[in-house]
């Protein structure tokens, strides 16, 4: 096409200046609907900016509706509604969600049942912040699936796992404290650290999760008293601790008078045969679980299990963070448990997750990073690629994945991390997933393209 953006000298960020130049050339007719934009690498070279800057500009342009991405072909100018022929349903491989189809018949039946009961007066009333006795008994029964034998008094209800983590931060970590977690962790942990003005420090990992030796060193070095970790299919790495590793992690924290906050959100979906850390020592471990990954993400129902020593502090935090327990969701889930549909729903998700891991293996020829049911995997990028270039190349094909540094606690130390997280749970069918993975296979199997000069 020969189009070259002309960015004026201004104090605006370069990516915004690029988008404004694009809008101007569309307005004056230089660019017309359907024109294909040059590859991002070529634009970056021509403007002497990073690939990341151009990627950010393309995203902004897509949000403004002036360009559209056509899978396998590139990015095209879009004028008015004329881009409809380019629009196709897409799935986002960077979004760690679960498909709705496995749970839909069970949730539809549960919602229909809830509507037939005409109990809005109780469902919409205040409940104790920690949950009623009946609801805590129900969730204690559910947690037996994770080999946790707990009394109802040991369980409190939350509005999901993120809410549970927020309560733990609020109760256990104070301004200026240090909290330890895996060197790669999901972004919600860092956000909670920032919100509570708590320093988050990384502990080294291997294929079995947290490194016990580095954990011991960091506990002594920092004086941290809170460790957040996942023992089953950790996000993003899918690492699962062996039985020996679990015992070592608990022992290290016990010896250093530290509390483990175990985020076991993937425990039930994965069907991990090993019990969680909390089953080893309830005085050391606080257990967190929810239904978002094994039933549906919109069901905001989670649990905290803790010893009597810790529970009162956590209960005070919950009262401060919410006035009432998620009674609607737990009543709906009670029906699912009583009817057996909760177990059937989990089984359906496990089968679907395993099927999608098989699709990944068959389409890409690569071995998934976990053998347990999971809707996300952790994939190494070939050394011949710079990670930013690899991500950008995928974006030109309409494929979105998450770069490893997005999850790094110490981004400077992990700047050479060449991993990505790929999420397989988007969309109800798998045709689009196969299409996206085919594009991914083409990129990961190729060498980086050499740039050409834009004229």
Q: Which tens digit of pLDDT belongs to each residue from 392-440?
A: 889 888 899 999 988 999 866 566 679 999 999 998 889 999 999 999 9
Token duo for residue 217: 């060193």
DSSP conformational letter for 421? E
- What CA–CA distances, in Å, run from 42 to 61, 394, 422, 448? 17, 15, 26, 13
First to last CA, the chain: 9
pLDDT tens, residue by residue, 336-353: 999 999 999 999 999 999
Fold of the domain built from segment(s) 121-339: 3.40.640
Residue 160, pLDDT score: 95
| Tens of pLDDT, residues 290-337 | 999 999 999 999 999 999 999 989 999 998 888 899 999 999 999 999
pLDDT tens track for 269-278: 999 999 999 9
Taking the C-alpha atoms of residue 321 and residue 170, their distance in angstroms, rounded to an integer, is 9
Mean pLDDT within 364-371: 97
Give the per-residue pLDDT at 66: 84
Give the CA distances from residue 44 to residues 5, 55, 78, 452, in Å, rounded to whole numbers and listed in that order.
10, 9, 21, 11
| 340: Cβ contacts below 8 Å, ≥ 6 apart | none
Helix (DSSP H) and strand (DSSP E) numbers for the chain: 16, 14
Reported as a single tens digit per residue, the pLDDT across 69-105 is 765 567 888 776 544 444 445 689 999 999 999 999 9
pLDDT at 240: 98
CB 126 within 8 A of CB 323: yes
DSSP one-letter string for 360-385: HHHHH----S-SS--SEEEEEPPTTS
Domain ranges of the chain: 14-86, 121-339
Q: Which of 60-69, 165-174, 187-196, 330-339 has the lowest mean pLDDT?
A: 60-69
Mean pLDDT score across all residues of the chain: 89
User: Which of 270, 267, 334, 323 shows the shortest CA–CA distance to 299?
Assistant: 334
CB atoms within 10 A of CB 9: 6
CATH class for the domain made up of 14-86: mainly alpha
Residue 303 has a pLDDT of: 97
- DSSP code string of 185-208: --HHHHHHHHHTT-EEEEE-EETT
> Do 400 and 414 touch, CB atoms closer than 8 A?
no
pTM value is 0.81
Q: Classify burial at 52, counting beta carbons within 10 Å of its beta carbon; exposed 0-12, middle 13-18, buried 19 or more.
A: middle
Query: 81 Cβ partners below 8 Å, 6+ apart?
Result: none
């Amino acid at each position: 096409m020969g189009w070259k953006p002309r960015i004026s000298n201004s104090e605006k960020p370069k990516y915004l200046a690029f988008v404004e130049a694009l809008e101007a050339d569309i307005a004056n007719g230089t660019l017309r609907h359907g024109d294909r934009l040059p590859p991002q690498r070529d634009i970056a070279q021509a403007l002497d900016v990073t690939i990341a800057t151009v990627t950010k500009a393309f995203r902004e342009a897509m949000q403004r509706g002036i360009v559209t991405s056509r899978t396998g072909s590139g990015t095209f100018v879009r004028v008015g509604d004329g881009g409809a022929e380019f629009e196709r349903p897409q799935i986002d491989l960077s979004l760690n969600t679960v498909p709705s189809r496995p749970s839909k018949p069970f949730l539809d039946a549960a919602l229909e049942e809830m509507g037939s009961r005409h109990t809005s007066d109780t469902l919409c009333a205040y409940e104790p912040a920690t949950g009623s006795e009946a609801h805590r008994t129900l969730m204690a029964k559910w947690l037996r699936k994770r080999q946790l034998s707990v009394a109802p008094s040991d369980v409190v209800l939350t509005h999901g796992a993120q809410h549970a983590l927020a309560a733990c931060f609020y109760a256990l970590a104070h301004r200026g404290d240090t909290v330890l977690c895996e060197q790669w962790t999901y972004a919600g942990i860092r956000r909670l650290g920032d919100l509570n003005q708590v320093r988050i420090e990384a502990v080294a990992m291997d294929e079995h999760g947290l490194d016990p030796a580095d954990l011991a060193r960091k506990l002594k070095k920092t004086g941290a008293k809170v460790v957040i970790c996942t023992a089953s299919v950790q996000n993003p790495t899918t690492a699962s601790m062996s039985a020996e590793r679990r015992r070592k992690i608990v022992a290290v924290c016990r010896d250093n008078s530290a509390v483990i906050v175990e985020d076991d959100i993937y425990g039930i979906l994965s069907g991990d045969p090993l019990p969680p850390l909390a089953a080893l020592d309830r005085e050391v471990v606080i257990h967190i679980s929810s239904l978002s990954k094994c039933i549906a993400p919109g069901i905001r129902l989670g649990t905290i299990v803790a010893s009597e020593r810790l529970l009162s502090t956590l209960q005070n935090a919950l009262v401060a963070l919410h006035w009432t327990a998620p009674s609607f969701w737990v009543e709906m889930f009670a029906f699912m448990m009583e009817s057996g549909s909760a177990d059937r729903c989990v089984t359906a998700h496990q089968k679907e997750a395993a099927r999608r891991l098989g699709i990944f293996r068959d389409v890409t020829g690569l071995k998934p990073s976990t053998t347990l049911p999971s809707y996300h995997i952790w994939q190494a990028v070939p050394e011949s690629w710079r990670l930013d270039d690899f991500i950008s190349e995928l974006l030109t094909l309409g494929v979105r994945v998450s770069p490893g540094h997005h999850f790094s606690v110490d981004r400077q130390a992990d700047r050479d991390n060449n991993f990505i997280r790929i999420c397989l749970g988007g969309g109800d069918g798998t045709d689009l997933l196969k299409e996206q993975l085919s594009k991914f296979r083409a990129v990961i199997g190729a060498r980086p393209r050499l740039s050409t000069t834009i004229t």
